[in-house]
């Protein structure tokens, strides 16, 4: 048995095929996506599925789900997309819950003047931050360290 067949067999042991999705039964990350470690390298299960069944993923491309199920690894439900295409797909499917928010958790209204865009290293995306809350946090931190 060659390496690819071994990989497919190991992969298939971690899935449950339903009428629609192939549900990942192995470990998951904090966002609910399946993951598997191969030779000390962690792969997202849906990306590995795409590579096994469809081929190489283009650089800087995401593997998106047509079914919107992060545990699904069915190659028929996976497609390559840019981060922009993924965001547009998200908006089209009404999964952009943060975008529809009009106020921060402290009830400050989101307006052009009160929004600060911050890059989130964990999610690799730009996120809205309430500028009023940010300034309050900075003041508190300043006074903690200069008291």
Domain boundary among 75, 96, 117: 96
| Number of domains the chain contains | 2
The residue range of the domain holding 138 is 101-147
For Cα atoms 55, 61, 66, give the angle at the middle one, nearest 5 degrees.
80
Is-contact 63 78, C-beta < 8 A? yes
What does the pLDDT average to over 123-145? 85
Whether residue 117 sits in one domain with residue 67: no
Whether residue 83 sits in one domain with residue 20: yes
Domain boundary among 96, 114, 139: 96
Q: Match 């048995």 to its residue by tokens.
A: 1
- Per-residue pLDDT, 124: 66
Task: Give the residue, 117 or 97, on which the prediction is more confident.
Answer: 117
Render pLDDT for 26-80 as a digit per residue (tens, 0 to 9). 999 988 899 998 888 899 999 999 999 999 999 999 999 999 899 999 999 999 9
Whether residue 13 sits in one domain with residue 69: yes
**With 80 as the cut, is the pLDDT of residue 146 above it?**
yes
Render pLDDT for 107-124 as a digit per residue (tens, 0 to 9). 988 888 888 888 777 766
> What CATH number did the domain enclosing 41 receive?
3.90.75.20
Cα 76 to Cα 53: distance, rounded to the nearest angstrom: 9
pLDDT band at 142 (very low <50, low <70, confident <90, very high): confident
Whether residue 34 sits in one domain with residue 79: yes
pTM of the complete model: 0.65
Domain boundary among 96, 114, 137: 96
Whether residue 35 sits in one domain with residue 8: yes
Is-contact 19 9, C-beta < 8 A? no
């Amino acid at each position: 048995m060659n390496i690819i067949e071994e990989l497919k067999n190991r992969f298939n042991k971690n899935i449950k095929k339903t009428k629609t999705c192939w549900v990942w039964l192995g470990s998951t990350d904090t966002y609910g996506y399946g993951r598997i470690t191969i030779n000390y390298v962690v792969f997202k299960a849906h990306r590995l599925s795409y590579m096994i069944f469809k081929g190489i993923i283009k650089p800087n491309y995401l593997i998106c789900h047509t079914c919107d199920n992060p545990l699904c690894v069915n190659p028929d439900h996976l497609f390559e997309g840019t981060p922009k295409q993924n965001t547009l797909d998200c908006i089209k499917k009404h999964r952009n819950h943060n975008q529809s928010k009009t106020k921060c958790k402290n009830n400050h209204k989101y307006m052009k003047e009160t929004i600060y865009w911050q890059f989130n290293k964990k999610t690799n995306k730009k996120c809205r931050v309430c500028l009023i809350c940010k300034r309050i946090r900075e003041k508190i931190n300043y006074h903690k360290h200069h008291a």
